[in-house]
Structure 1
Amino acid sequence: MSRAVFLHAAGDARLAPFNLREGAAGETLLDVAAVGLCGSDLHYYKDGGIGSAVIATPFVPGHEFSGWLTEDLPDLGLARGALVAVDPNQACGQCEHCRSGHPNLCPEVVFIGAPPHDGAMTERIWVPKSQIVPVPETFSPSDAVMLEPLGVAIHAVDLAKPRLLERVALIGCGPIGLLILQVLRTAGVGEILACDPQPHRRELALKLGASKAGADVTDIAEWTKGEGLPLVIEATNAPEGFRDAIRAARIGGRVVLVGIPDGDSYVIPAAEARRRGLNIKFSRRMGHVYPRAIELVALGKVDVEAVVSHRFPLAEGPAAFRRHAANEAGMVKSMIYPGRLPDEHR
């Protein structure tokens, strides 16, 4: 029998036996190679849900994952044993939003790893063949996992429409923020002024291309002499993230909100936002961006491995949730391996 990490309720993650369901038509079985602990997984752990997606019964999280095929897929040119990534977003394909090119906004989506749909924090998983993403043979399991969060970063930057040499503020240097930072660099922006309360994340932001990194938005105000910046991208888990993004923006600026706030609520100063006349966009998941994500990693334009700070065997999955929820020093991104840890990380 397989094992899996289950989320039972807020603050309650457990390793337990897992009865693998039967496969359905059009699905294929994967041996899970690696699975990332995402910020949204952490919201389910800390808050018991995200908006209307709440934990009603124990479920298996994990939507960022890679796996090895257990059968040949000749239609995709893939043989048994090949490493693949998976797009967790199964949109209906029929609604107005899907037809207009926004499958990330589909209200009928079946999303792997969001309740009530079990995810990949287990040893084997059935997935639709249509959601298999082939990857280069040079990719590691964690490279393939990181394509999903990198896709979120690409979508956010697409929404932001950065201009050549434009100065940008980045609020939050967690995994998504650090990937956004690297995508911004490839897009040809100018200075990137970042802020994050955790010193190790600020240090990593500087290594990955930030021009300056401060502890909070007051540093950005000081660096810009109170004027703010034309483009601000927010990628925090803080209710104050929206507020800080507003305060980092100049009059007439653009703000893209990517983060999910703890407690599912924002704290914002209405007058400050209104008087700046800001253009505000919300970013959700991604569109069809996997080809670009693969190319960015394959060409070395984005260093996804730099964002991975910790690696755990499946049995230590509950501990990984606890350590992230406690904001333990040094934590950025954790990778969980249902099999043995790669030799270089043992």
Structure 2
Amino acid sequence: MSRALFIRGAHDAYVAPFNLREGGPGEVLIDVGAVGLCGSDLHYFKDGGIGSAVVKEPFVPGHEFGGYLCEDLGELGLTRGALVAVDPNKACGHCEFCERGHPNLCPNVEFIGAPPFNGAMTERIWVPKSQIVPLPQQFSPLAAVMLEPLGVAIHAVDLAKPRLLEQVAVLGCGPIGLLILQVLKAAGAGEILAVDPQEHRRAMAARLGAARTGESVDDIREWTKREGTPLVIEATNSPLGFRDAVLAAKIGGRIVLVGIPDGDSYTLPAAEARRRGLKIKFARRMGEVYPRAIELVAGGKVDVASMVTHQVGLDEAPDTFRNHADNAPGYIKSLIYPNGLSKQGG
């Protein structure tokens, strides 16, 4: 019998035996190499759900993961033991939104690691073969895991459409914000102003290329003489994230909201947004971006390893959830190795 990390409700995570289900048609079994603790996993832990995705019974989280094939996958030219990534988003393929090329908006999605669909914080998992992503031979489980959050960052920057050498404000220097920062640089953005209340995250943003770092939106307003920046990308977990993005934006500017606020609600003074005539977009998951994510990592244009501050086994995972929820010093990105740290690779 396998083991898994379960979330039973708000602030209730534990490790217990897990009965692995039988595989279905078109599925392949993988040994989980590593799985990331994502901000959405943390929302399930802190709030017991995100919108309509509510934890009603114990479920296994984890949608950022890579693992080792338990059988040959000839149609993809892969053999047993190959390290692969997995796209967690199984869109229906036939709704209006899928047909328009937006599978990330599919209302009929089956998303690995979002209730009621169990995720990868377990030793083995069945996944659809169609969601397997082949990887370059030199990739490690860490790199495989980080492709999914990098894909979210790529999608956010695609929505933002940064102009060449344009000044950009990035609110939030967690994993997604730090990945967005790097993708912005790869896309040719100019000066990047990054803010986060935690000093170690600001330090990481500076290391990865932010021109200036500060604690809050007040710093951005000071640096820009209260004019703001033409483009703002918000990647916080704060109910004030939307408000702060508005306050950081220049008149006529653009905002992309990526973060999920604690409590699933924003606080926003409407006049500030209306009087600026802002263009606002919301980012949800991602589209078909894995090839670009792989190329950015393989080519060294995005450093995914530096922000991984903690790597733990399954038994340490509940405490890791609690530490992230408590904003423990030094935490940016944590990876969990359900089968042991020996499988983390290079």
Q: Which category describes the TM-score, using the shorter chain as reference length?
A: over 0.9
* 2:317 paired with 1:288: no
The residue aligned with 1:174 is 174
Which runs of no fewer than 5 residues in structure 1 stay unpaired?
none
The residue aligned with 1:151 is 151
CA 1:7–1:344: 2 relative to 1, 3 Å: closer
Give how far 1:82 is off: 0.1
The residue aligned with 2:320 is 320
The residue aligned with 2:249 is 249
The residue aligned with 2:50 is 50
Give how far 1:344 is off: 8.3
**What amino acid is the match of 1:136?**
P
Give how far 1:307 is off: 1.4
**CA offsets, 1:144-172, max 9 Å, x none?**
00000000000000000000000000000
Give how far 1:343 is off: 8.1
Q: Matches of residues 257-268 of structure 1 in structure 2 within 5 Å?
A: 257-268=257-268
The residue aligned with 2:210 is 210
Q: How far apart, in 1, do the equivalents of 2:342 and 2:86 lie? A: 20
Q: How far apart, in 2, do the equivalents of 1:176 and 1:307 lie? A: 10
Q: TM-score scaled by structure 2?
A: 0.99
Q: How far apart, in 2, do the equivalents of 1:70 and 1:277 lie? A: 54
Q: Aligned pair count?
A: 346
**CA offsets, 1:230-267, max 9 Å, x none?**
00000000000000000000000000000000000001
The residue aligned with 1:33 is 33
Q: Matches of residues 1-346 of structure 1 in structure 2 within 5 Å?
A: 1-342=1-342
Q: How far apart, in 2, do the equivalents of 1:342 and 1:27 lie? A: 26
Aligned residue for 2:341, secondary structure, equals coil
Q: How far apart, in 1, do the equivalents of 2:17 and 2:215 lie? A: 43
Q: How far apart, in 2, do the equivalents of 1:339 and 1:91 lie? A: 29
Give how far 1:184 is off: 0.2
Q: Which 4+ runs in 1 deviate beyond 4 A?
A: none
Aligned residue for 2:204, secondary structure, equals helix
Which runs of no fewer than 5 residues in structure 2 stay unpaired?
none
Aligned residue for 1:306, secondary structure, equals coil
Q: How far apart, in 2, do the equivalents of 1:296 and 1:343 lie? A: 23
Aligned residue for 2:306, secondary structure, equals helix
Aligned residue for 2:309, secondary structure, equals strand
